[in-house]
Structure 1
Amino acid sequence: MDLAASVGVRVRELREAQGISLSELARRSKIGKGTLSELESGRRNPTLDTLYALTTALKVPLSTALHDLASPAKISGDAVEAVLMERFEADASVTETYRIRIRCRATQESAAHSPGTTEHIIVLAGTARVGPLTDPVLIGPGMHGSWAADVPHLYQAPAGEDVEALLIVRYPQ
């Protein structure tokens, strides 16, 4: 099964397990009902932005829709490309590790995740502007940063090169 079909099945299972209709999930996630129907049936490739909107509306970590696939899931948005490397579940949290690329001179604004979610980044190459929309910081190669991800936040590669980084997202259970 390809990524679109696998993720579509997973999103439908998550929605149905919570007893949420297609219309209600479309409303909560601000994703069109037709788009959501195509995603669930595997006829449309999911973007990073769309999956974040859906998993946030379902109140589950992004990796819930991506883990246990045949190969590491690579998902892209307008500015960020992410590969899920690891998902770790503990009693108090779910922690995800991603290898990310932020495209040169691109910006991604991410909606707030569930309460208590935090993000941590280690920049491998390039310079990233990351963090809350109201107070992002510049992080260069070999540097790290962290921020509350339960508020709108951004990822940006303001200089003339892509940013390569490791991103760790921690969701409280």
Structure 2
Amino acid sequence: MARATEPTGAGAGVGARIRALREARGLSLSTLAAEAGIGKGSLSELETGRRNPTLETLYAVATPLGVPLAALLDDHDGAVVGDEGVVATRVRVVREPDRTTEVYLLRLAPGAERVSPAHPVGVEEQLVVLVGSGFVEHGDGPVPLAPGDHVRFAADRPHAYRAGPDALEAVNVIVTPVTSV
């Protein structure tokens, strides 16, 4: 049985990974919170497992840590994270010496939007639409999406996915080059 002071929620492992990465990079709690654009208290609660992470928060923290989203999630295929009408299910992660490739099944409820901050330089995303319609914005205005469409873009600038009036389901592939931090 876990002691009362030990984090046991779904976010405990994620929080421990964030703390370990932050400390390995010599970042203070205040510095990482400021760089991620979240409150210091929120980051502290996340690291201690007292708060479950949202997809938006995980992306915000992953970028200043210089790691792919997969480095923060439960390290197994099938791990699910979601918030406000957006659910990402990890399908596969391939770690190679020069890059990490993450594959997610992305589901957006009708009208839901997933706004992502810029990832580190060199990160590329691809989206293959399975069902539904919507838009992706990655710098040059909205690009319409329909079943079968494929979009590939540099993800080192803010970008967003938005579902149309029906739910949008797509395969999202994120390729992050390995850099020394």
TM-score normalised per structure 1:
0.92
1:12 and 2:12 correspond: no
Tell me, in whole angstroms, the C-alpha distance in 2 between the residues paired with 1:131 and 1:90.
29
Q: How does 1:28-39 map to 2 (within 5 A)?
A: 28-39=35-46
RMSD of Structure 2 on Structure 1 (CA): 1.5
How many residue pairs end up in the alignment?
A: 171
1:76 and 2:82 correspond: yes
Q: Which runs of 5+ in 2 are unaligned?
A: 1-7
Residue equivalent to 2:126: 120
Tell me, in whole angstroms, the C-alpha distance in 1 between the residues paired with 2:92 and 2:137.
22
Q: Deviations over 1:139-170 (max 9, x none)?
A: 21122111111111110012x21111110001
Q: How does 1:88-103 map to 2 (within 5 A)?
A: 88-103=94-109
Q: Which runs of 5+ in 1 are unaligned?
A: none
1:171 and 2:176 correspond: yes
Give the deviation of 1:43 after TM superposition: 0.7
Residue equivalent to 2:34: 27
Residue equivalent to 2:65: 58
* Identity of matched residues, %: 43
Once the two structures are overlaid, the 10-residue window that deviates more, 137-146 or 53-62, is 137-146
Q: How does 1:115-154 map to 2 (within 5 A)?
A: 115-154=121-160
Q: Which amino acid aligns with 2:27?
A: I
For residue 10 of structure 1, give the secondary structure of its aligned residue in structure 2: helix
Change (3 A) 1:138 1:169: same
Contact 2:14 2:74 in 1 (8 A): no
Q: Deviations over 1:4-60 (max 9, x none)?
A: 111111111111111111111111111100000100111101000000010101011
Change (3 A) 1:67 1:45: closer
Tell me, in whole angstroms, the C-alpha distance in 1 between the residues paired with 2:85 and 2:33.
23
Give the deviation of 1:138 after TM superposition: 1.2
Once the two structures are overlaid, the 10-residue window that deviates more, 37-46 or 80-89, is 80-89
Please identify runs of 4+ aligned residues in structure 1 that moved more than 6 A.
Answer: none
Give the deviation of 1:79 after TM superposition: 4.2
Give the deviation of 1:67 after TM superposition: 4.4
Give the deviation of 1:93 after TM superposition: 1.1
Contact 2:135 2:162 in 1 (8 A): yes
